[in-house]
């Protein structure tokens, strides 16, 4: 990967990290939200620029492929459904509990950096695919994320569950991070736990990195995604069955996204494009 593209990817992720730090320090969700939106917007800018640079010359200018416009539209849809997640996290009717004998986990505040870093991992992964103009893989991931979120939202509405908040304890800065998660990120609302979309999205991101196949970077990101899943348990944000449903939903969502985007017969150049993308990813 070129040093310029890697730098752009890191910048997008670093913006989200900075927003998370400010959010914890200021005890306000606003820096978190603005940084996440800024990271998405910046990766979209990089995506357009890099895609145009790789596009063939046409009428003395480089025209953007249709797939770029599709992915930009999917980014907007992703932001919309993510917003609806916050709207759905309110008491609606009967509230259920998915607690089972598999949930004796203690609270381990040291997992908070992974739980919050999940947002940076999303932007970093999308930025990597965007800066490398890996169009098909980006489309597949976006479609899968949107599908997983929509099914999650439907489940939240028809079968609402909750997980009681944990006791806020532990050494600093982990205690402050846990306090931010409970009091500012979720603002006292815990009604959207089944499925765990932290786990579902982490599974989708892990699949994306396995496909990218960069030995060191992919391994680091996959391990980080696994730590996010563990964080949902050791911070008592989700029960074990929430994790299971989230991961199963992610696998199904990826299968649907891959089938629609990369396997369908109408995508005549799909196989060739995927081979080319894999070659580009190794550069």
CA 260 vs. chain centroid, Å, equals 20
Between 5-9, 11-15, 115-119, 277-281, the lowest mean confidence (pLDDT) is in: 277-281
Burial class of residue 116, CB neighbours in 10 A (0-12, 13-18, 19+): buried
Residue 62 has pLDDT above 90, yes or no: no
How confident is the model at residue 25, as a pLDDT?
Answer: 96
Confidence of residue 141 (pLDDT cuts 50, 70, 90): very high
How confident is the model at residue 245, as a pLDDT?
Answer: 96
Residue 191 has pLDDT above 50, yes or no: yes
Query: First vs last Cα of the chain: how many Å apart?
Result: 5
Mean pLDDT for the chain overall: 88
Cβ within 8 Å of residue 62, ≥6 positions away: 52, 53, 55, 56
CA distance 192 to 85: 8
What is the three-class DSSP state of 56?
coil
Q: What would the pLDDT profile of 3-49 be if each residue is shown by its tens digit?
A: 888 899 999 999 999 999 999 999 999 999 999 999 999 999 999 98
Q: What is the mean pLDDT of the segment spanning 48-70?
A: 74
Contact present, 88 and 192 (Cβ < 8 Å): yes
Neighbours of 173 (CB within 10 A): 15
If one compares 257 and 65, the residue with the highest pLDDT of the two is: 257
If one compares 52 and 138, the residue with the highest pLDDT of the two is: 138
Residue 59 has pLDDT above 50, yes or no: no
CA distance 221 to 210: 9
Closest of 128, 109, 108, 99 to residue 39, by C-alpha: 128
CA 269 vs. chain centroid, Å, equals 28
Cβ within 8 Å of residue 98, ≥6 positions away: 161, 193, 194, 239, 241, 242
Confidence of residue 60 (pLDDT cuts 50, 70, 90): very low
Q: What would the pLDDT profile of 197-240 be if each residue is shown by its tens digit?
A: 999 999 999 999 999 989 999 999 999 999 999 999 999 999 99
Contact present, 193 and 98 (Cβ < 8 Å): yes
CA 115 vs. chain centroid, Å, equals 12
How confident is the model at residue 55, as a pLDDT?
Answer: 64
CA distance 39 to 199: 21
Contact present, 162 and 242 (Cβ < 8 Å): no
């Amino acid at each position: 990967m070129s040093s310029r593209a890697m730098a752009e990817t890191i910048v997008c992720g670093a913006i989200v990290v900075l927003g998370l730090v400010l959010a914890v320090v200021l005890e306000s969700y606003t820096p978190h939200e603005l940084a996440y939106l800024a990271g998405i917007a910046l990766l979209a800018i990089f995506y357009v620029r890099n895609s145009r640079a790789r596009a063939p010359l046409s009428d003395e200018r480089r025209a953007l492929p249709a797939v770029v416009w599709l992915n930009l539209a999917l980014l907007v849809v992703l932001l919309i459904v993510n917003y609806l997640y916050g709207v759905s996290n309110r008491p609606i009717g009967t509230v259920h509990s998915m607690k089972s004998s598999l949930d004796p986990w203690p609270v381990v505040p040291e997992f908070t950096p992974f739980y919050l870093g999940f947002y940076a991992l999303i932007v970093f992964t999308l930025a990597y695919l965007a800066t490398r103009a890996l169009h098909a893989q980006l489309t597949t991931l976006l479609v899968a994320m949107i599908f997983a979120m929509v099914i999650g939202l439907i489940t939240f509405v028809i079968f609402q569950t909750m997980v009681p908040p944990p006791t806020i304890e532990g050494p600093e800065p982990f205690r402050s991070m846990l306090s931010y998660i409970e009091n500012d990120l979720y603002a006292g609302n815990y009604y959207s736990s089944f499925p765990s979309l932290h786990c579902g999205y982490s599974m989708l991101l892990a699949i994306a990195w396995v496909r990218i196949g960069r030995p060191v970077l992919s391994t680091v990101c996959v391990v980080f995604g696994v730590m996010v899943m563990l964080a949902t348990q050791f911070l008592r944000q989700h029960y074990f069955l929430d994790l299971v449903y989230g991961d199963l939903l992610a696998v199904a969502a990826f299968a649907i996204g891959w089938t629609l985007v990369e396997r369908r017969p109408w995508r005549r150049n799909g196989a060739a494009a995927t081979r080319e993308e894999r070659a580009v990813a190794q550069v």
